[in-house]
Structures are given as structure tokens and as C-alpha cells.
Structure 1
């Protein structure tokens, strides 16, 4: 059974009505459902074949937040949750490795200039990452193309404001360094880098998510 453009449009609208509004998820499901229907015999009725195909994907399309105003099918919720878990896994693992490394360096080299240059480099890179996120936020908003990565980015990009505050506070501490510098214990040193580093790696992960959004836009030629 070869589907017409009108029949494909019906499937597409049905997925949207069920809350699958994110392009990469919708297009993937659309491809699977169209394939399932087209594998039916030529004598099959479209409505019957469509119903059978939708029944196959019933679990993934199940609404799991029935009390909320926005329909959220299971497949969307699970995809968003997976990206969220990856955010915290990436940030925690990266910041632990980073904090141990920098703490080791500053313990072996406790001089003021080492402390100053490491922080200055860190806050410079952090500022650049935040700038990239702000620019990405503008283009994601301007394109108005819905992907699950774009939605995730929009939800978590608000942390950029707090990151900018952390950068501002850190640079202020550096400006008074000559009057207030004192060698910190290993634990204080570690946690100082850990708390700033966690938001730094969250910001880096958001850059990765933004890149994924634009990759999806390019892959499916959505512009």
C-alpha cells in the first residue's frame, strides 16, 4: 500500500494532536508508522491499517500527565528525562575530575600567581561558554523550530544568569587577591572549584544540546 501525501498529512496531524510536537521525534514516529502501513497488502483499507499501526505505538503515545494542560506522551517525557539525566551525569563526572586536577595543581603550586592565572583562564572560558549559550538562545528562539533538544535548552538556559553572577563574583575576588590571598586547605580548595565548575560544565552541556538542536534542524532540512 503506497500512501498519498494527504494520508501522510493525516498521520502527521494525529501525532501533533497526541502531543508529539518535537520534529525529530515526530518525523521518526511518522517514518515508522508509514512503513508499517505500507507493508500492508494492497487490498488493505488505510483507516484499518492506520489504526493497527497506531495500536502498535500505543504505549509510546500514552499520555502520562493527564492532569496537566499540555499533553505529554510517554516517548517525549522519556526522551526529555534521558537528556536531563545525562546533563547531571556529565556535569558531576566532569566537575569531579576537573576539581581533583586543579586542586592537585594548586596544592603542588600554591603561589598566588598560579591561583590567579588559573582562575582568570577559567572565568574567561566560562564567560565565552555563557556567551555562546546566549547567542544560541537567540537563534533557537528566532527559528521557532521545535525539537526536544531546543525545548531542553530553553528550560535550562536560565541557569546562565546564575553562571554570569558566579563569574562576576569570582572576578571581584580576583581583583582583591593581592590583599586577601591566603593558601586554602585541600578540601576548601576542592569545593571552591567544584561549586563553580559544576555550573561551568552545565553550561558546556547546554552548548552540546544547542549543537544537537541545530544538527536536527539541518538533518531534516527544517529551514
Structure 2
């Protein structure tokens, strides 16, 4: 059977009633459910729709992730947790690589000016990342259309104060544990000072995905 606009609207409203309010997830589900209904040639729309909803029942069931502080349909919670875990792991990996690189350079070249140059560079990119996140927050918040990626970006922007704190400490020299020949203190300094920057980078990537979905489905 070929679905009408009113029938598709009914699917949309049914998903919203189950708290599937994010456009990327909702549109994917509408597409799947509509395709399943259209394959049910011998059933009425109501019968096929009920059958399809039954199939997706487990993913539409309300659940929560205590560790990540989110409650909602399982399909949304699972996607949120997957993205959160991906960002955390990616940030850790990037921080590890960056810290090893910077520790190696500053141990090989222990002159104070080398450290100062890198510190100034890190301060600059922190400032740029903060400006980028604040600007992006405004545009994500301004758009009425919601996606899981946009929600995650806004929710995770609570980490922004850590970036401001890192800028403050780098500018004022309050975070100075660099000692010539000390591998551990050198490594730890670069690790702590770079971790929140890499989280910011991945958060901006999330926002970019949000805008890509908005453009793809013409949701402006």
C-alpha cells in the first residue's frame, strides 16, 4: 500500500507521543515504519501500523542511563551513550598522543622559550575553541529543529567552564609544573591542559553533524 500524507503524519505524531522528538531519529523511524507498512499488502493501515510499532516497542520503551544522566526512549539513549563514549575515548586517545609528542619535544628542547611558545599556542587554540562553541551554541539553540547531536552538544557544553579555567591558568602561569628532565610532571601537564580542548573539538564536530542533518532534511 502507498501511504498518504495524513498517514505519515499519524506516524510522526505517534512517535512524538513516545518522546521521539529529535528529527534525525524520528525521520529514520518514520522511513522504516512506512516501508514496513507498505509491504503489508493484505493488511489495513491500522493493522500494519500496530504490527510495526510492536516490532519497535523495545527501542521506544522509556529507559535511562544513570552514568550519562539522560532519560528517554531507548533508541535515543543508546545513540546518546554511544556518541558520548566515542567522544570520551577519542579525547583520551588524542590527549595521550599529543602529550607524548609534547613531552618528547620539551624534554629534547628544555629551553624555557620552547615551553612558552607551546603554552601560548595552546592558550590561543583554547580561546578560539571557546569562541567557536559559544557561537555554535547560539545557532543550535536558535534553530527550532532538534537532533540528538544538537542535544548532546548543548548538554555537553556545560564543560565549557573548564576551558575558561584552563585559559585563566595558562595566562596567569598558575599551572606550571614543567621541570627539566621530569617526564611524569611534563606528561601530566600536557595531558590535563589538552584534554578539554580535544573534547571541545569533538563537540564542535557533533554540532557540524547537527547542521548537516538539518540541511539534509531541509529542516531550517
- The alpha carbon displacement at 1:144 in A equals 2.6
Runs of 4+ in 1 over 2 A off after TM superposition: 180-184
Calculate the TM-score normalised by the size of structure 2.
0.93
Residue 28 of structure 2 is aligned to residue 58 of structure 1: no
CA RMSD, aligned part only? 1.9
1:18-97 superposed matches below 5 A: 18-41=18-41, 43-65=42-64, 72-97=72-97
Of 173, 181, 185, which residue of structure 2 is paired with 1:188?
Answer: 185
Query: Contact conserved, 2:179 with 2:185, CA < 8 A, in 1?
Result: no
Residue 210 of structure 2 is aligned to residue 213 of structure 1: yes
State the alpha-carbon separation in 2 of the partners of residues 132 and 172 from structure 1.
23
Query: Contact conserved, 2:145 with 2:219, CA < 8 A, in 1?
Result: yes
Count of aligned pairs between the two proteins: 215
Gaps of 5+ in 2: 65-69
Task: Sort the Cα spacing of 1:157 and 1:184 in 2 relative to 1 into closer, same or farther, 3 A.
Answer: farther
- Residue 140 (structure 1) aligns with: 140
Query: Contact conserved, 2:37 with 2:49, CA < 8 A, in 1?
Result: yes
State the alpha-carbon separation in 1 of the partners of residues 157 and 183 from structure 2.
32
Gaps of 5+ in 1: none
- Residue 129 (structure 1) aligns with: 129
Q: Output one character per residue of 1:113-154: Cα deviation in whole Å (capped at 9) or x when no partner.
A: 100001111111121111111100000011132100011011
State the alpha-carbon separation in 1 of the partners of residues 207 and 2 from structure 2.
37
Which one scores higher on RCO, CA 8 angstroms, separation ≥ 6? 1
Query: Contact conserved, 1:20 with 1:26, CA < 8 A, in 2?
Result: yes
Calculate the TM-score normalised by the size of structure 1.
0.91
- Residue 67 (structure 2) aligns with: none
